Homo-oligomer: A and B are copies of this chain.
Amino acid sequence: MLTVVEGFSKFSKEDKIDWIAKNCTSNADETKRLLKKYWNENPRTQRIHDEFIENTLSNYYLPFAVAPNFKINEKLYAIPMAIEESSVVAAASKAAKFWLNRGGFKTTVLGTEKVGQVHFMFDGNKTALRQFFDEVKPLLFETTSPITQSMTKRGGGIQDIVLIDKTQLLSDYYQLHCTFETVDAMGANFINSCLEQISKTFEAKARLKPNLLEHGENLTIVMSILSNYVPNCIVRAEVSCKVEELNDDELKASLFAEKMIQAVNIAKVEPYRAVTHNKGIMNGIDAVILATGNDFRAVEAGIHAYASKNGVYSSLTHAEIKDGVFKFWMEIPLALGTVGGLTSLHPLVKLALEILQQPTAKELMQIVAVAGLAQNFAALRSLVTTGIQKGHMKMHLLNMLSQMGANEQEKNELVVHFKDKTVNNANVRAALQKLQAK
């Protein structure tokens, strides 16, 4: 039975590992050996990774891969991806290849506005509050200038601060809704630092303002924090071609286009389907987000909330056939950075950005959106033609065989054997045993 541990975070890394190995696992020596096996040989490199977070014991490996042949706005990219799910990189590569000779991907950044809010409660006079806000607004900009100085030099800063009355939703609830341009930084620390200064100034000046809080009115700052919901930080990605270019066989091409439209339309009206449809998009997006050192939880939250913005959770991608042209596209919110944070700390993130030709944040938005659109195209294409299991199953089969200790030759033979058979644990084990008994 595990016991309480005091001061764990102050333990040395060795002592942390000792404690976990001894108290949480049955074979302490084996646990220590395993955790250390995943350390980098180079202690300096290892230290970099240890310091990213607290209580680090080892490195969790995610495969770092690359999907080549993405043509985006006439420029070619090989896109780095870090992801554990089989078929994601294969699907991305296939979709890239498919569109390579059909015009490639077209992308546009439709906005880069970041958002942060000071949330506060006020039970006094609304007109007095608005008047006070108008008076104090220039000072809110002024007192944040030490923080915004270097961002302003790079072309960013606070764009606006607006007082919003939300008392109809929650009594006494108001916001200072602030918008930001953070150029190539994701900007979380910058935005939060600005907001905390804005709220300090706002509160301090409110306390001094005649007629605002003089009769026992209450003003309470609840919190000041950036929002990961960025509906004005939007990128659009699109592919299109003539319907007959979708397949060498004209009948197949038109049937395929029609089924793609049906699949997208279903994901538009049916949340059960929309969730998995969009999950597939995120397979591509998160793989690039991780490889480029961005925050996938932030991106996930913003995109899924955007998918529900019309009241029903719905498909992020759209498809149409118009004048004989098949078009497939999406517009999604993406707040990304290519400077700051992990981008300058994680050696493989630096490499990923180099592989992408050192993109600006706006360029990275476009690349990430393409990875998502490509993934969705590949998934729908499988779904409406061969079914999802065919592609998945080959990788799944290889993983199962590895786990069962099959060698390369056995793997190759069994991949052929299972081409038209049901892959499940029992069948694979039986087939392997039969092969090994030969």
The answer to whether B282 touches A54, judged by C-beta atoms less than 8 angstroms apart, is no
User: Binary interface profile of A, 377-398, with partner B (CB < 8 Å = 1, else 0)?
Assistant: 0001001100111001101101
The answer to whether B9 touches A93, judged by C-beta atoms less than 8 angstroms apart, is yes
The answer to whether A283 touches B301, judged by C-beta atoms less than 8 angstroms apart, is no
The answer to whether A189 touches B396, judged by C-beta atoms less than 8 angstroms apart, is yes
Q: Which listed residue, B60, B63, B117, touches A273 by the CB 8 Å rule?
A: B117
Q: Which residues of B contact A3 (CB under 8 A)?
A: 76
Among A182-207, those with CB < 8 Å from B are 189-190, 192-193, 196
The answer to whether A196 touches B88, judged by C-beta atoms less than 8 angstroms apart, is no
A23-31, A130-138, A245-253, A359-367: which lies at the interface = A23-31
Q: Which residues of B contact A348 (CB under 8 A)?
A: 34, 38, 58, 60-61
The answer to whether A313 touches B302, judged by C-beta atoms less than 8 angstroms apart, is no
Given A273-B119, A305-B271, A93 and B8 touching (CB < 8 A)? yes
Residue A110 at the chain B interface, CB threshold 8 Å:
no
The answer to whether A263 touches B24, judged by C-beta atoms less than 8 angstroms apart, is no
Q: Which listed residue, B90, B117, B347, B392, touches A189 by the CB 8 Å rule?
A: B392
**Alpha-carbon distance A97/B359, docked complex (angstroms):** 42
Residue A226 at the chain B interface, CB threshold 8 Å:
yes
**Alpha-carbon distance A282/B298, docked complex (angstroms):** 9
The answer to whether B262 touches A2, judged by C-beta atoms less than 8 angstroms apart, is no
Q: Determine how close the nearest CB of chain B comes to the CB of A292; give it in whole angstroms.
A: 11
Q: Which residues of B contact A24 (CB under 8 A)?
A: 78, 354-355, 357
What bracket does the count of chain A residues touching chain B fall in?
35 or more
The answer to whether A276 touches B41, judged by C-beta atoms less than 8 angstroms apart, is no
User: Binary interface profile of A, 141-152, with partner B (CB < 8 Å = 1, else 0)?
Assistant: 000001101100
Residue ID in chain B nearest A380 by CB atoms: B223
Most chain B beta carbons < 10 A, residue from A26, A35, A82: A82
Residue A293 at the chain B interface, CB threshold 8 Å:
yes
Residue A126 at the chain B interface, CB threshold 8 Å:
no
Residue ID in chain B nearest A200 by CB atoms: B387
Q: Which residues of B contact A177 (CB under 8 A)?
A: 272
Residue A163 at the chain B interface, CB threshold 8 Å:
no
Nearest 10 pairs of A and B residues by beta carbon: A304-B304, A308-B308, A60-B82, A229-B275, A223-B383, A279-B301, A59-B61, A60-B64, A169-B269, A2-B76
